[in-house]
Amino acid sequence: MKKSDEPLFNAKKINNRVVSLSCKIEKDFYLEDLVVVCVLKGAFIFAADLIRYIGFCECILDFVKISSYGSGTESSGNIILTKDLEIGIRDKNVLIVDDILDTGASLSYLVNLLGSRDPKTLRTCVLLDKPERRKHKIQADYVGFEIENQFVIGYGLDYNEKYRELPGIYTLKEF
Ligand code: 5GP
Ligand code: MG
């Protein structure tokens, strides 16, 4: 597999979009508490950038990690939670922040799991959405970019743990 030479989204384009997502979130939760749940590992850079532009909210950050046992570019759809939240979310505004909404298995799993803990509100935010690939009936409340059915890396996203450090988002091609 080989990374594309040109980014699909460069750092500036990502940053502009992240700032506008943050502004929307800030408006929706103006002067309220907000628990941001970052889904490890892929969303760590996105969540870090996003929360830095959310003002006017009392922001608390926590992490979950899920695994869909499988590597490469296909996920199996069998989700297991490998790291749970450390804080309680009962009666809190909760925003799940994930990297990509693909088949929807991961986000559906997390919405069910965290929804069962009686949060005050539960919303979802993803940097990238591949609507074509959806197998579960779920949409995110905040979406950075819609993309076609292609495998992407960079800005936190990996291929076998590589490429997360790239500032832009690139596609991965069969070599
Ligand atoms: P879903 O459960 O919606 O099928 O898949 C979501 C997860 O699969 C994402 O959070 C991400 O970890 C992984 N994933 C899906 N598409 C891509 C992709 O194009 N690139 C990378 N690096 N991960 C992806
Ligand atoms: Mg993920």
Q: What is the pTM for the complete model shown? A: 0.95
pLDDT score for 68: 82
Whole-angstrom Cα distance, residue 170 to residue 92? 36
Distance from residue 27's CA to the centre of ligand 2 (Å): 26
Pocket test for ligand 1, best of 46, 68, 75 (most atoms within 8 A of CB): 75
Q: What is the mean pLDDT, run by run of 10 residues, along the chain of 175 residues?
A: 95 98 96 96 98 92 88 71 98 98 96 98 98 96 97 97 98 86
pLDDT score for 71: 53
Long-range Cβ contacts of 65-70 (<8 Å, 24+ apart): 65/39, 65/40, 65/41, 66/39, 66/106, 66/109, 66/110, 68/105, 68/106
Whole-angstrom Cα distance, residue 27 to residue 42? 26
- The residues spanned by each domain of the chain are 2-173
Yes or no: domain 2-173 corresponds to CATH 3.40.50.2020: yes
pLDDT score for 101: 97
